[in-house]
């Protein structure tokens, strides 16, 4: 019989990791002023807090094609296991953080709507979700602490200003407590707080109280004949925790049917039940300040598909961004302190550009393009996040399966190179950091500059994820135990027929042709891996390399080579040297240059006291493997796999090759057998090409 769950222990452990009792601080207004004096940053505005949150997670700097990039670790989502991690958009995220920095410093972008623009599935929503979740967590830390206040009347001496039988009236918009300081006193208070402060941050009080708090404040001032200290005795300051689920500090607005849109969803509406209590619909206590702009105060508001908003909504958006004010029905303009961020796709943005009535909105937006990824390794990371061994049960994914899907997705997003000697596949490899002959970093920079829409068109990551899922389900139904690249490529191709976003038949045909390019590249990859597995005899490679180096040394120094078998001095073995060099396409006219290059490299290592190893030179390493493979493939008789007939000696050699594929290249038993059969069929057709 199973033991019962020790719920008490689980609760105690959870509470030990949740915000402590001390974090739920409350105190008087004077107590809060002392806190601000000790740590002025608790009074930061929304942009300042959001910027600090991102930067405090850490940064990394690197050079990408001669351009310095700052990578913000915040977008790795490490605390959540990378669930909302953003890959391959370091440049775009750097631009976003630069906008936040300028806004935090008050340079003008705090008066703009941040507009994330890009194709569907390019991580716009993920970026917003990451910022919102980050704010929630940051508000629970000491560094991200922020405070609000509530009106308290324990004795009933306020003449029901808070409402009938109401003893606690929270600030409906979770306002900054410093807004309680009258305008005439603010500069003096700020000077007192900022005096002798270290660092660049200085407290600045901007804005006014919302209508209900202003109503109560004014009523108490009259009640106490202008005695501010007595008024503030009814104020209790408390710690504020941002929460999207509780609608505190985060608002999200998504347009609905145009006929049913109502601007009160943004700015709040009258509470008709309370009109009878307060006697007037213009009493601020009879108004629900629960619109998305109101609840997002002190934090962030996200507009989903912002450009689908009705014109009436856009007017509210203009005032909210430029003036940091919103206009609730029947009340004066109300101050807000929040980051306004929206996202939209390209068709909607084109409509904005073509609409002359939207000029005011265009002028108040900061557009940040969020394109599709064009770097293969980053695209692969997107799919590995969802399709990995931890999440897959009873089924494996063969090596290169995710890679070929990502490769095809990238190819659909790349523009055709204008250079005649460059293919789209080669362009993909250059973007991915691979070096190709006659192409420098400057050339790659030029390739990027000459494009106009690269990354804005092509296949979405969602499509790839859907087809990978289909292939996994199919493999489970067929009890195959492993998903291979061909299964995924078949899914990708068949799905094109009914792709809802691609109606152009010419484009579909182009994408099918790119699948053929990917298939051919995959065949080259697995042939290379099988070749390397066959020729992975370290001893044989070392001997072949030693023989080559001895002959190259004699050739470059115009000497003879001692034959270890006959003991005679002989001319360098030109046939051996050329057999190796031809494997990596060294032409006859360039052989002397290549040989001198190898000897110079060995000489430079010797000066540093290092010994040459063939693995140090990638091209030579590849040439040696191909030469050894050519020498050994016939003895292994890999083609016998096709007929499923192999003698004992051949089978043992094949098993060794299979074990090398498993050990060195990440295959399992099923996928290793599959790839050997496929490569064997290529050899059987005589379709062997050495790159």
Can you spell out the DSSP letters for 11-73?
A: HHHHHHHSPPGGGS-EE-HHHHHHHHHH-GGGG--HHHHHHHHHHHT-EEEEEETTEEEEEEG
pLDDT at 163: 78
Residue 637: per-residue pLDDT? 56
pLDDT confidence of residue 473:
87
Q: What pTM did the predictor assign?
A: 0.85
Rounded to whole angstroms, how far apart are CA atoms 373 and 410? 7
Query: 461-477 and 376-386 helices cross at what angle (nearest 10)?
Result: 50
C-alpha to C-alpha distance for 587 and 584, rounded to whole angstroms: 9
Q: At what angle do helices 376-386 and 424-431 cross, to 10 degrees?
A: 80
Rg (CA), the chain: 34
236 has which bridge partners?
150
In sequence order, what are the residues at sequence separation of 6 or more whose Cβ sits closer than 8 angstroms to the Cβ of residue 485?
Answer: 398, 400, 401, 403, 404, 405, 522
In 3D space, the residue among 22, 23, 140, 16 whose CA is nearest the CA of residue 8 turns out to be: 16
CA–CA dist 411, 100 (Å, integer): 33
Report the pLDDT value the prediction gives residue 686, as an integer from 0 to 100: 57
User: What pLDDT is attached to residue 124?
Assistant: 93
User: What pLDDT is recorded for position 688?
Assistant: 45
Report whether 431 contacts 374 (CB < 8 A).
Answer: yes
What pLDDT does residue 687 have?
45
- How far does Cα 311 stand from its chain's mean position? 33
- The CA-CA-CA angle for residues 412, 418, 421, to 5°, reads 100
**Ranges of each domain in the chain:** 376-532, 536-625
Alpha helices in 139-251 (DSSP H): 183-194, 211-223, 228-232
Kindly report the backbone phi and psi dihedral angles of residue 304, in degrees, each rounded to the nearest multiple of 5, phi listed first. -80, 130
Is residue 288 classed as helix, strand or coil in its secondary structure?
Answer: strand
Q: Parallel, antiparallel, or unpaired: how do β-strands 339-344 and 365-369 relate?
A: unpaired
Structure token pair of residue 418: 């204008």
Strand partners, 301: 251, 340
Centre a 10 Å sphere on the Cβ of residue 682 and count the other Cβ atoms it contains. Answer: 18
pLDDT at 690: 43
With a cut of 70, which residues of the chain have pLDDT below it?
1-3, 14-23, 156-159, 257-261, 312, 357, 389-393, 565-567, 632-647, 683-691
Beta bridge partners of 326: 334
The conformational region for residue 160 under phi > 0 = left, psi -120 to 50 = alpha, else beta, is left
The whole-angstrom separation of Cα 590 and Cα 243 is 67
Q: Which residue is listed with tokens 């080259």? A: 524
Going by their DSSP bridges, the two strands 569-570 and 561-562 should be labelled as: antiparallel
Q: Are strands 334-335 and 325-326 parallel, antiparallel or unpaired?
A: antiparallel
């Amino acid at each position: 019989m199973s033991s019962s769950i020790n719920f008490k222990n689980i609760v105690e452990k959870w509470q030990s990791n949740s915000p402590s009792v001390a974090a739920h601080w409350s105190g008087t207004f004077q107590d809060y002023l002392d806190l601000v004096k000790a740590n002025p940053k608790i009074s930061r505005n929304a942009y300042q807090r959001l910027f600090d949150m991102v930067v405090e997670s850490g940064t990394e700097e690197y050079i990408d094609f001669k351009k310095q990039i700052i990578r913000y670790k915040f977008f790795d989502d490490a605390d959540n296991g990378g669930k909302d991690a953003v890959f391959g958009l370091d440049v775009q995220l750097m631009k976003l953080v630069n906008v936040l920095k300028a806004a935090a410093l008050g340079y003008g972008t705090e008066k703009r709507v941040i507009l994330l623009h890009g194709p569907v599935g390019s991580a716009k929503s993920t970026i917003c979700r990451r910022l919102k979740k980050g704010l929630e967590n940051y508000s629970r830390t000491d560094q991200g602490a922020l405070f609000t206040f509530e009106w308290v009347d324990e004795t009933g001496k306020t003449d029901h200003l808070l409402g009938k039988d109401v003893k606690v009236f929270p600030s409906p918009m979770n306002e900054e407590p410093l807004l309680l300081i009258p305008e005439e006193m603010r500069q003096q208070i700020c000077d007192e707080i900022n005096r002798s402060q270290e660092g660049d941050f200085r407290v600045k009080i901007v804005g006014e109280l919302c209508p209900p708090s202003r109503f109560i404040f004014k009523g108490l001032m009259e009640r106490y004949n202008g005695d501010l200290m007595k008024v503030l005795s009814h104020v209790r300051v408390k710690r504020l925790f941002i929460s999207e689920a509780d609608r505190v500090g985060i608002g999200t607005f998504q347009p609905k049917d145009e006929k049913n849109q109502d601007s009160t969803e943004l700015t709040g509406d009258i509470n008709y039940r309370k009109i009878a209590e307060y006697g007037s619909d213009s009493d601020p206590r009879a108004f629900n300040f629960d619109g998305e702009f109101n609840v997002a105060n002190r934090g962030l508001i996200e507009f989903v598909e912002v450009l689908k908003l009705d014109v009436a909504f856009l007017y509210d958006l203009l005032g909210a961004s430029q003036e940091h004010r919103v206009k609730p029905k029947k009340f004066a303009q109300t101050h807000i302190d929040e980051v306004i961020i929206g996202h939209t796709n390209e068709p909607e943005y084109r409509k904005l550009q073509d609409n002359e009535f939207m000029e005011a909105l265009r002028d108040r937006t900061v557009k940040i393009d969020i394109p599709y990824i064009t770097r293969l390794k980053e695209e692969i990371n997107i799919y590995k996040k969802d399709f990995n061994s931890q999440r897959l049960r009873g089924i494996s994914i063969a090596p290169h399966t995710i890679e070929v899907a990502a490769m095809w997705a990238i190819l659909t997003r790349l523009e055709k190179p204008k250079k005649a000697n460059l293919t789209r596949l080669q362009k993909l490899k250059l973007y991915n950091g691979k070096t190709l002959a006659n192409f420098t970093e400057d050339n790659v920079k030029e390739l990027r500059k000459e494009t106009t829409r690269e990354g804005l068109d092509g296949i979405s990551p969602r499509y790839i994820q859907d087809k990978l899922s289909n292939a996994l389900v199919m493999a489970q139904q067929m009890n195959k135990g492993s998903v291979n690249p061909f299964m995924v490529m078949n899914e990708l191709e068949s799905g094109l027929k009914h792709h809802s976003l691609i109606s152009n038949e010419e484009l579909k045909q182009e994408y099918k042709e790119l699948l053929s390019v990917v298939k051919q590249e995959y065949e080259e990859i697995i042939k290379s891996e099988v070749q390397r597995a066959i020729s992975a005899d370290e001893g044989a490679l070392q001997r072949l390399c030693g023989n080559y180096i001895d002959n190259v040394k004699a050739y470059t120094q115009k000497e003879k080579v001692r034959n270890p078998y006959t003991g005679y001095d002989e001319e360098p073995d030109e046939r051996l040297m050329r057999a190796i060099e031809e494997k990596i396409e060294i032409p006859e006219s360039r052989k002397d240059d290549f040989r001198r290059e190898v000897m110079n490299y060995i000489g430079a290592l010797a000066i540093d006291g290092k010994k040459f190893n063939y693995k140090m030179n990638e091209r030579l390493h590849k040439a040696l493997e191909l030469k050894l493979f050519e020498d050994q493939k016939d003895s292994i008789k890999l083609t016998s796999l096709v007929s499923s007939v192999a003698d004992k000696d051949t089978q043992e050699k094949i098993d060794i090759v299979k074990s090398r594929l498993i050990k060195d290249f990440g295959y399992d038993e099923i996928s290793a057998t599959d790839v050997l059969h496929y490569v064997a069929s290529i050899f059987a057709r005589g379709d062997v090409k050495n790159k």
